[in-house]
Structure 1
Amino acid sequence: MVEQQVLTGEVQILYVAPERLLMERTLRLLEQSNLSLFAIDEAHCVSQWGHDFRPEYQKLSVLKQRFPSVPRIALTATADLKTREEIIAQLALEQADVYVHSFDRPNIQYHVSDSGNAKKELWSFISTHHPDDAGIVYCLSRKKVEETAQWLTDMGKIALPYHAGLSSEQRASHQRRFLSEDGIIVVATIAFGMGIDKPDVRFVAHLSLPKSIEAYYQETGRAGRDGMPANAWMTFGMQDMVLQRQMVQNSDAAEQYKRVSLQKLNRLLGYCDLATCRRQSLLAYFGETLAEPCGNCDNCLNPPETWDGLQATQKALSTVYRTGQRFGVSYLVNILLGKTDARITQNQHHTLSTFGIGTELSAKEWQGVFRQLLAMNLLEAHGEHGSCNLPRLAGLILKGSTQLN
């Protein structure tokens, strides 16, 4: 029926997934139709540097070959300079004009914290700043979505889960309620959001680390579309980072894509541990300059203290080296704090020169040191348990010739 409506000109706008568009049957149908324009949405998917690469998008260059006289436009809300360049090359848009709007959303206040008790912090944030507001809480797994939605419900909120494991009827119902009712919180995986244009979403919260700055920016951008004040709140921990790295390393993607994904994750981790204006950092990532600190992010409102981390870094890296580069962060932190357990005793690691030399920092502070070293590529995490390895760059730090803040 839809094909017939296309042929007779009854359809004004036709939405087609790239996978279906590339089918010969679809291409023949379109060749028989009167086409005005191809609009390629979410165009960052064409680029291996984009945060949501889909190889089918790269094959959309067929549109120029099969429909040379039909105009084409590519659109995306989240693409850095390298991604924009690849969109142009892959879709054969070299002769096209490029229009880049500002990425700045000055009404959104950004806040990122290293979670001690994520649920407690989330509840404090919602009850203090958004007791009656609509919002979105993003989690990495379906299980965490279900648990968080039930917990918020038990706390007296109207909280609806949304993930790919629910039936299409449930997802449609929850989405419909979110759009039409006031004060509803949707707890979701990244499956929720495409096409959502509710203007009065007052907050977007992340209980899990996104996979890139682009994904983070796209998800936080669902808050405050009416231009009124809104919050982008995120809490994260070491486990989030290890899990994201493992998901990339264990995927079936090409090695180049894995490398790009890890680079993007590192950039996000650097943003999380930033001591300066978050908005300046976000805009710089997308090639835009903000001359002055924004005054509307956690670091501007409550500037964090910084300290020379060279000695702590040397202690951490030395411990990784002396334990044979085979252990995860929690184990290494216990050695630095001088804590003995069966594994440490069995491995004779209580006899190491680094055993107990890190008592000036707490376990949480050492977790932060290791997390920043991973983000700075001074450490690498591999394997199921996130064993820490030393890249070549770490050797230069161990010799001690620079300052680390």
Structure 2
Amino acid sequence: MDVKKSLFDNLQTFFGFDNFKGDQESIITNVLEKKNTFVIMPTGGGKSICYQLPALMNEGTAIVISPLIALMKNQVDQLRAFGGSDSIAHFLNSSLNKTEIAQVKSDLLSGQTKLLYVAPESLSKQDNIDFLRLIKISFVAVDEAHCISEWGHDFRPEYRKIRQVISGLGDDIPIIALTATATPKVQQDIIKNLQMSDATLFKSSFNRPNLFYEIRPKRDVLKEIIRYIKYNTGKSGIIYCLSRKKVEEVAESLNLNGIKALPYHAGLEPKVRADTQDKFLMEDVEVIVATIAFGMGIDKPDVRFVIHHDIPKSMEGYYQETGRAGRDGGEGVCIAFYAQKDVDKLAKFMKDKPVSEREIGTQILKEVIDYAESGVCRRKQILHYFGENFNETGCNCMCDNCKKPKKLFEAEESLQVLLKLIQKIGEKFDDTHIINVLMGLETAQTIAYEHSKLPEFGLGVVEGENYWKSLVRQAVLNNFLSKDIDNYGLLSLTNNGRGFVENPYSLKFILNEPIESAADDDEDDVKHGTGTLDIQLLQLLKDLRKKIAKQKNVPPFVVFQDPSLEEMCTHYPIAMDELKQISGVGNGKALKFGAPFLELIKKYVEDNDIERPIDLIIKTQANKSQLKVSIIQNIDRKIGLEDIARAKGITYDDILKEIEAIVNSGTKLNLNYFVDEVIDEDRQDEVFDYFQSAENDSIDEALRELGETDYSREEIQLMRIKFMSELGN
């Protein structure tokens, strides 16, 4: 029978496709001819069919080595649906009980199973090796093959043992290795470790033209994420966080804000993880918040956005995770939040690792920082990292840097200085050292190599460090320099670079403006909007506050303080839940005074046809601050404030600030036991009477009125807390 016709018939029969994508047909033919095959294909390129189809067509069983139980289950379910029988595909891993294992082995021995998925750990167990020797193996597929390399983003030592096990299963078993991300260094590692130097290499372009790449400074990150999802209601997305704790927090916050989200990380029970994955695939949830444990092999074609809450550890990880967006060729938005604080955290994690691992990790992280901070086309940078040259005009404004082009500068002279310096000192230093020389920094290395005596030392001070960093980056991207990542990131001139030194010419580089990198705000307290203050509404709210204060016979500031009113004028809360999120309001005050304010704001919004920035009112998790809870409990037990402060390791001033914040947001505290000890009754009455008629709650004004010689600041502050607690809450 004609092999080509057979291929297309089987593609139609098993998978319902009429045509192959890209190199699929050539790859499958190569596997059917029992040749070793190495496939490098981006996520969404259709890697799975490259081993599934030949396995279904071949005599015997194909062993598929896969790193994740979730991935195995997902693919086995699909194959059983395509093949119409449960015995056609199985997995063998730690999630199966003895009865299930017996069924798998029975189906394998009877020849019914065409694909067996195993984890590398299960594969290396002696009893499994002994059993697999009893069956006919058509070939071995090593999926996620980058796990073999310690230069890969997901190195797994068990992958290093695969070649040894395959050799023990029989002679001349062909191998197909597949990965969605492999730098030239990782490719060499895979070929060497699997001993497949004779393999036919099929490498697809890493360009995903439908993906939009964007880096944002990390400020109010939770608010930004919720704002984005609210404006993209109904679209599926994945949010990646580096820690399990952050995954749980973000998922809970999304749910509080009406977004169906579930957390996913390795700390959850396998059944919970499998259920979560199913719910995402079945669209019972819109968003998965996950560590990198989620997504390998997930076959959901319509993920519309991938957000990195934290900057990823490597470019490979970033590329693979963003690659889960838009696998159907449709919209795919990839947003990553960047802060120096996250980089410092990742660098700190590496401190305890062995020296060689730390050096590799540092170089890999440096590539991520360069990518995030650069003003150059994101797509060009990603593809260059994977050894692919790309002209940025082909980006079609599908990244933030191309969409909003940066200023250009004439780079000829500076590039000459840079390249000549690198040549002069022997092409055996990294960018940090080169820039230290140009910036005139006397480090241990610049002194030891006597580079502080060079005429170039300090030559680049005027332009500044950011300028030279950007110049080095663009010199590498435009192939004037090559960076040896697996050798400490040493810089050397390419033929192109040497040619430029000999015959320089005018060229323009992008003037890089550093990304505004802010510390990650305490997301439990993200409440402040960025809207413009509505002066007209503010006056109406102040008039209402005055009216209510008269009715209740309290000063206006007891009802709501000015900052709270101002925030209402940027957020326009019209529901009780929204009002509770305004700073200084809280549950108690909202219930006691809120209703007329909500009524006024609602009418004002309708009358003036105001489009409310609903995304700016972020519902936060109930305040879980252990300190606040502990302070309230200790006050209930009538513990002295100095004693509470001492026990918590904070100052007395700090404890007063904490108590004031608790009271101002509407919680009633009985501090009489403490106030009565430090201020006598007559003086208490005098301060109480003062605040009863005061225009505002300023401590400075109270001291001026009552006399600084008679009262201390601390006494006035304590009385203000007592006053606000008794009258306002």
If the TM-score is normalised by the length of the shorter chain, which range does it land in? Answer: 0.7 to 0.9
Residue 305 of structure 1: how far off its partner (Å):
5.4
User: How many angstroms apart in 2 are the aligned matches of 1:72 and 1:158?
Assistant: 42
In structure 2, relative to structure 1, the CA distance for the partners of 1:13 and 1:231 (3 Å cut) is: same
> Is residue 2:153 matched to residue 1:51?
yes
% of aligned pairs identical?
42
Secondary structure of 1:177 counterpart: helix
- One of 78, 82, 85 as aligned partner of 2:181: 78
The gaps in structure 1 that reach 5 residues or longer are 309-374, 380-388
> Is residue 2:380 matched to residue 1:280?
yes
- One of 189, 209, 214 as aligned partner of 2:311: 209
> Is residue 2:171 matched to residue 1:118?
no
Which digits, 9 at most, give the CA deviation of each residue in 1:269-292, with x for residues without a partner?
100011110000000111111123
> Is residue 2:469 matched to residue 1:400?
no
The gaps in structure 2 that reach 5 residues or longer are 1-101, 411-429, 435-441, 471-729
Residue 7 of structure 1: how far off its partner (Å):
2.4
Which digits, 9 at most, give the CA deviation of each residue in 1:230-277, with x for residues without a partner?
1000102122111111222224xx432221121111101100011110
Residue 161 of structure 1: how far off its partner (Å):
1.1
Secondary structure of 1:234 counterpart: strand
> Is residue 2:172 matched to residue 1:60?
no
User: How many angstroms apart in 1 are the aligned matches of 2:249 and 2:180?
Assistant: 31
- One of 202, 224, 238 as aligned partner of 2:326: 224
- Structure-to-structure mapping, 1:2-401, within 5 angstroms: 2-63=104-165, 65-66=167-168, 67-128=170-231, 130-181=232-283, 184-251=286-353, 254-293=354-393, 294=395, 295-304=397-406, 377=432, 392=445, 399-401=457-459
User: How many angstroms apart in 1 are the aligned matches of 2:406 and 2:255?
Assistant: 34
User: How many angstroms apart in 2 are the aligned matches of 1:301 and 1:391?
Assistant: 42
Question: For the Cα contact (< 8 Å) 1:7–1:29, is it kept in 2?
Answer: no
- Range moving further from structure 2, 195-204 or 288-297: 288-297
Question: For the Cα contact (< 8 Å) 2:303–2:332, is it kept in 1?
Answer: yes
Question: For the Cα contact (< 8 Å) 1:46–1:55, is it kept in 2?
Answer: yes
User: How many angstroms apart in 2 are the aligned matches of 1:211 and 1:10?
Assistant: 42
Secondary structure of 1:38 counterpart: strand
User: How many angstroms apart in 1 are the aligned matches of 2:167 and 2:457?
Assistant: 57
Secondary structure of 2:216 counterpart: strand
Secondary structure of 1:112 counterpart: strand
Secondary structure of 1:156 counterpart: coil
Question: Could you say which residue in structure 1 is the equivalent of 2:77?
Answer: none
Secondary structure of 1:73 counterpart: strand
Residue 174 of structure 1: how far off its partner (Å):
1.8
User: How many angstroms apart in 2 are the aligned matches of 1:302 and 1:68?
Assistant: 57
Question: For the Cα contact (< 8 Å) 1:51–1:212, is it kept in 2?
Answer: yes
Secondary structure of 1:36 counterpart: strand
Residue 272 of structure 1 aligns with an amino acid whose one-letter code is A
Secondary structure of 1:15 counterpart: strand
Question: For the Cα contact (< 8 Å) 2:314–2:364, is it kept in 1?
Answer: yes
Secondary structure of 1:223 counterpart: coil
Residue 393 of structure 1: how far off its partner (Å):
5.9
Residue 72 of structure 1: how far off its partner (Å):
0.8
- Range moving further from structure 2, 111-120 or 224-233: 111-120
Question: Could you say which residue in structure 2 is the equivalent of 1:362?
Answer: none
Residue 376 of structure 1: how far off its partner (Å):
5.8
Q: Give the aligned CA root-mean-square deviation in angstroms.
A: 2.5
Larger Rg: 2
Residue 223 of structure 1: how far off its partner (Å):
0.4
In structure 2, relative to structure 1, the CA distance for the partners of 1:33 and 1:303 (3 Å cut) is: same
TM-score after normalising by structure 1: 0.75
Aligned length: 327
Question: For the Cα contact (< 8 Å) 1:132–1:183, is it kept in 2?
Answer: no
Structure with the higher helix share, 1 or 2 = 2
User: How many angstroms apart in 1 are the aligned matches of 2:289 and 2:403?
Assistant: 28
Residue 49 of structure 1: how far off its partner (Å):
1.4
User: How many angstroms apart in 2 are the aligned matches of 1:184 and 1:138?
Assistant: 14
User: How many angstroms apart in 2 are the aligned matches of 1:168 and 1:112?
Assistant: 33
Residue 111 of structure 1 aligns with an amino acid whose one-letter code is E
Residue 303 of structure 1: how far off its partner (Å):
2.6
User: How many angstroms apart in 1 are the aligned matches of 2:379 and 2:241?
Assistant: 23
Question: For the Cα contact (< 8 Å) 1:133–1:182, is it kept in 2?
Answer: no
